[in-house]
Amino acid sequence: MFFLAHMFPSFNNIMLHTPLSLLVIFETETTHLKHNLLMDFIRMASFLLLIFCVKGLGKYITWDDIKIHYEDNDHDYKKITERLSFQNGDDGNQSRVIVVDQSGHADSRTIQAAVDMVPVNNSIRVKIYILPGVYREKVMVPASKPYISFIGDPNHASETVLSWHDKASDRYKDGSELGTYRTASVTVESDYFCASDITIENTVVAVPGGYKMQAVALRITGNKAVFYRVRILGTQDTLLDETGSHYFYQCYIQGSVDFIFGNARSLYKECSLHSVADKYGAIAAHHRNSEGEDTGFSFVNCSVTGSGLAIFLGRAWGNYSRAVYSYCDIDNIIDPSGWSDWNQPWRQRTAVFGEYECRGKGADRKKRVSWSKSFGFEEAVHFLDTDFIGGKDWLRL
């Protein structure tokens, strides 16, 4: 009982509010029978409560889910590998660690093989610790394998690279084209996925106007995911943020045309958004198609930079496309008009494109399209923190 009360503070409240009517029933029995019934009740209540509480484990993503525990200043990867199997995190939850090392001194040489080791319908956090190297492979995390983390060394994020090179015009063996969605170097379909301190890239360099040059680096369709200090690199259609609620924190995202696109509900906080467009381009292409969809891209305290020509902050891929920039530092890389209706003028009436308290040469709204919005605080507040993605229900960061 002490264990339950210590691990789950709500336990005491539940027990204190057990209906008093149960005790009344016990009072009508003999002393011996009352004692037996009471003990049976306590045992059953404790068992059911334990099941209830254990099911709650993993409901929240914590900082512990995106880091590896090892001795301070110990950078002997072989020793770390030998030491990692099961860990008890700072949050009290147990996790399993699978180590990936191309040299063959760990559990797996490839990331996909490590994912394959995770049981179907997994119910505990599995941390796949990826040692530095360029992993040239196409990776799939299926929906049947939740609670997986990809974790790199915090000091070597740019040297821990998941890389592939498919583009939309590439073909299967049967001759059919891949199409955009199946080009992803890394696809995540599972819920409660995390990634930290790694690089995910698609090495295709899209040629402006070229035939089906879309080349996705990361595709995420699972719900409740966190990406922390992850570098996502590509050109056209770099990040397919397709569906679900996601939190991108201090990430670096590079591309040219619509390089963040999809219909997810995602918060990008303190991220670097870097354009490499050399003809035309856009950062966000959101695909919300009805007013009832609670989706959108919110960029908060991000930096917007570029090395090419002027681009749009966003394009209305869907009729009710929604993207908002708040407190962002926007360099002189944005087309003065700011936003595009995707050559579908009727979308000007329904798309929600907003800016709030942004700064920098690219934040000047004097020549913005008239149908974009300069938000006040009352309009912007919904987009400013993790409440936008329902974070109270699944984040403890």
Domain of 279, CATH number, reads: 2.160.20.10
Residue 226's nearest CA partner among 208, 214, 244 is 244
Give Rg (Cα) of the chain.
25
276 close to 256: Cβ distance less than 8 angstroms:
yes
Residue 156, domain member (yes or no): no
State which H helix or E strand residue 50 sits in.
Answer: helix 31-56
Looking at per-residue confidence, does 16 or 188 come out higher? 188
Residue 152, in any domain of the structure? no
- The pLDDT assigned to 28 comes to 43
Q: Is residue 362 part of a domain?
A: yes
Selected catalytic residue, list 65, 101, 258, 335:
258
What is d(CA 359, CA 13) in angstroms, rounded to the nearest whole number? 48
Which residues are CB-contacts of 123 (< 8 A; sequence separation ≥ 6)? 58, 146, 147
Structure tokens at 77: 């990867």
Tens of pLDDT, residues 89-101: 666 567 899 999 9
Q: How confident is the model at residue 141 (pLDDT cuts 50, 70, 90)?
A: very high
Domain residue limits at 25: 2-56
258 has catalytic annotation: yes
Q: Is residue 351 part of a domain?
A: yes
Domain C-terminal end among 56, 77, 97: 56
Tokens found for residue 392: 């109270």
Identify the bridge partners of residue 139 per DSSP, sorted by sequence position.
Answer: 186
Residues with Cβ within 8 Å of residue 243, at least 6 apart in sequence: 221, 223, 262, 263, 264
Mean pLDDT of 324-347: 98
Query: Rounded to whole angstroms, how far apart are CA atoms 81 and 73?
Result: 15
Neighbours of 15 (CB within 10 A): 15
Note whether residue 126 is domain-resident: no
Model-wide pTM > 0.75: yes
Tell me, yes or no, whether 389 lies in a domain: yes
Boundary-marking domain end, from 56, 79, 97: 56
**Domains in the chain: how many in total?**
2
The per-residue pLDDT for range 170-193, each reduced to its tens digit, is 999 899 999 999 999 999 999 999
CA distance 287 to 167: 21
Task: Answer yes or no: is 328 within a domain.
Answer: yes
Asked which of 35, 56, 77 is the last residue of a domain, the reply is 56
Evaluate whether residue 22 is within a structural domain: yes
